[in-house]
């Protein structure tokens, strides 16, 4: 696999070639994913739950994300690595730039932040400083206490319209990628069709330009429950390389996610 860049991802969207992504937290899994077809890895603040055993992602620090980003980058020079900006590390443009710079120096190709139109100034500042940005809408885990739990977003039309407006605002501000989490598949399609930047879904049906899963869910070893939108590929295949390959093949072909994994 050749080196993956933003241009690669844009070309994949234009050609309707699905983007495959997984979370990764160390060099060994980054190498395994690269060798078996994954194009994008996210060093997610999900590590607060799957690695640290927390109930949510809020305790994760920027230093921890930077550490795991360095580990992931050591596993592959060619993967496209996105790193999460953790809770309250981008409350204003200055904080966003300072903390994003640390993650870029650690080896990230892009940073990800959660939220809508209110992030306009921060995204503009980041991109002006040469830092590519991935947005994140729908169920944004850092806002779990505002939502009252991990709940599906965008089922009511007013909320759906707000998410669509936020998606357009993020693109207008300079975001080059967008994660859509736990929203109805019909809404995911409306957003994907309205944007020129690629969308990556998790619990958003198979209508987005790509898919991402938490790696622990992919192999059925998450400390908590396995989400509705996930699937244990290790159970089907019996070994890790085959599980990753099947995930990539099923995403590319549109087999995964199927109707049983999506929200209406």
Q: For each of the chain's 264 residues, which pLDDT tens digit applies?
A: 689 999 999 999 999 999 999 999 999 999 999 999 999 999 999 999 999 999 889 999 999 999 999 999 999 999 999 999 999 999 999 999 999 999 999 999 999 999 999 999 999 999 999 999 999 999 887 877 665 656 789 999 999 999 999 999 999 999 999 999 999 999 999 999 999 999 999 999 999 999 999 999 999 887 656 788 889 999 999 999 999 999 999 999 999 999 888 887
Let me know if 171 is a catalytic residue: no
Q: How far apart are CA 145 and CA 235, in angstroms?
A: 33
Instruction: State which H helix or E strand residue 186 sits in.
Output: helix 185-194
Whole-prediction pTM:
0.96
Q: What are phi and psi of 199, to 5 degrees?
A: -115, 140
Kindly name the residue from 39, 181, 236, 260 that is annotated as catalytic.
181
Please enumerate, by residue number, every residue annotated as part of a binding site: 45-46, 84, 112, 114
CB 56 within 8 A of CB 49: yes
User: 213: closest CA among 189, 181, 239?
Assistant: 181
Please enumerate, by residue number, every residue annotated as part of a binding site for Mg(2+): 45, 84, 114
User: 178: closest CA among 264, 251, 190?
Assistant: 190
CB 181 within 8 A of CB 203: yes
Please enumerate, by residue number, every residue annotated as part of a binding site for 3-methyl-2-oxobutanoate: 45-46, 84, 112
Give the pair of three-digit tokens for residue 162. 């707000």
């Amino acid at each position: 696999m050749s080196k993956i860049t933003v241009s690669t991802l844009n070309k994949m969207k234009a050609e309707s070639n699905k983007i495959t992504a997984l979370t990764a937290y160390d060099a060994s899994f980054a190498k395994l994913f690269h060798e078996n077809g994954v194009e994008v890895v996210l060093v997610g603040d999900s590590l607060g739950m799957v690695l640290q055993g927390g109930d949510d992602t809020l305790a994760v620090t920027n230093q921890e994300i930077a550490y795991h980003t360095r580990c992931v980058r050591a596993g592959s020079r060619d993967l496209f690595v996105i790193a999460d900006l953790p809770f309250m590390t981008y409350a204003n443009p200055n904080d966003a730039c300072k903390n994003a710079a640390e993650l870029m120096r650690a080896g990230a190709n892009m940073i990800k932040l959660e939220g809508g139109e209110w992030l306009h100034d921060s995204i503009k500042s980041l991109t002006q400083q040469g830092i590519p940005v991935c947005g994140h809408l729908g169920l944004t885990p850092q806002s779990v206490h505002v939502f009252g739990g991990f709940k599906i977003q965008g089922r009511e039309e007013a909320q759906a319209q707000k998410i669509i407006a936020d998606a357009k605002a993020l693109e207008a501000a300079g975001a080059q990628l967008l994660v859509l989490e736990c929203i109805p598949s019909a809404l995911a399609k409306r957003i994907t069709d309205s944007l020129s930047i690629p969308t990556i879904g998790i619990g958003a049906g198979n209508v987005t330009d790509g898919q991402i899963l938490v790696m622990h869910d992919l192999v059925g070893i998450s400390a908590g429950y396995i989400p509705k939108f996930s699937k244990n590929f290790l159970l089907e295949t019996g070994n890790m390389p085959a599980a990753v390959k099947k995930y990539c093949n099923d995403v590319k072909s549109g087999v995964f996610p199927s109707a049983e994994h999506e929200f209406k």
